[in-house]
Amino acid sequence: MQLKDLTPRYAALAGAIEAKLGGRIERLPTTTGELGYRVAPNDLLGVCRALRDEPELKLEMLIDVCGVDYQTYGKDEWQTSSATETGFSRGTTRDAPPPAIDVEQATYAPPARFAVVYHLLSIKHNHRLRLKTFCADNERPIVDSVYDVWNAADWFEREAFDLYGILFRGHPDLRRLLTDYGFIGHPFRKDFPLIGNVEVRYDPAKGRVVYEPVSIVPRTLVPKVIRDDARYEPDLKVKDPGSA
pLDDT computed for residue 70 by the predictor: 94
Instruction: Count structural domains, the chain.
Output: 1
Q: Is 167 inside a domain boundary?
A: yes
Q: Is 124 inside a domain boundary?
A: yes
On the question of pLDDT at 1 being above 60, the answer is no
Q: Is 65 inside a domain boundary?
A: yes
Q: Are 61 and 122 in contact (CB under 8 A)?
A: yes
- Reported as a single tens digit per residue, the pLDDT across 115-129 is 999 999 999 999 999
pLDDT computed for residue 125 by the predictor: 94
What pTM was estimated for this model as a whole? 0.76
pLDDT band at 79 (very low <50, low <70, confident <90, very high): low
Q: Is 198 inside a domain boundary?
A: no
The lowest-confidence range among 159-163, 214-218, 230-234 is: 230-234
pLDDT band at 230 (very low <50, low <70, confident <90, very high): low
User: Over the Cα atoms of the chain, what is R_g?
Assistant: 24
On the question of pLDDT at 151 being above 90, the answer is yes
- Reported as a single tens digit per residue, the pLDDT across 5-18 is 788 889 899 999 99
Q: Is 241 inside a domain boundary?
A: no
On the question of pLDDT at 244 being above 60, the answer is no
- Reported as a single tens digit per residue, the pLDDT across 88-109 is 444 444 455 555 545 444 456 8
pLDDT band at 237 (very low <50, low <70, confident <90, very high): low
Q: In this structure, what CATH number is given to the domain that contains residue 37? A: 3.30.460.80
pLDDT computed for residue 7 by the predictor: 83
Round to whole Å and give the CA distance between 181 and 179: 7
Q: Is 232 inside a domain boundary?
A: no
pLDDT band at 193 (very low <50, low <70, confident <90, very high): confident
Q: Is 67 inside a domain boundary?
A: yes
pLDDT computed for residue 242 by the predictor: 59
> What type of residue is 109?
A
Closest Cα partner for 115 from 137, 140, 134? 134
- Per-residue pLDDT, averaged over 32-41, amounts to 92
Would you put residue 186 in left (φ > 0), alpha (ψ -120 to 50) or beta?
Answer: beta
Range of the domain at 20: 3-73+110-179
Q: Is 236 inside a domain boundary?
A: no
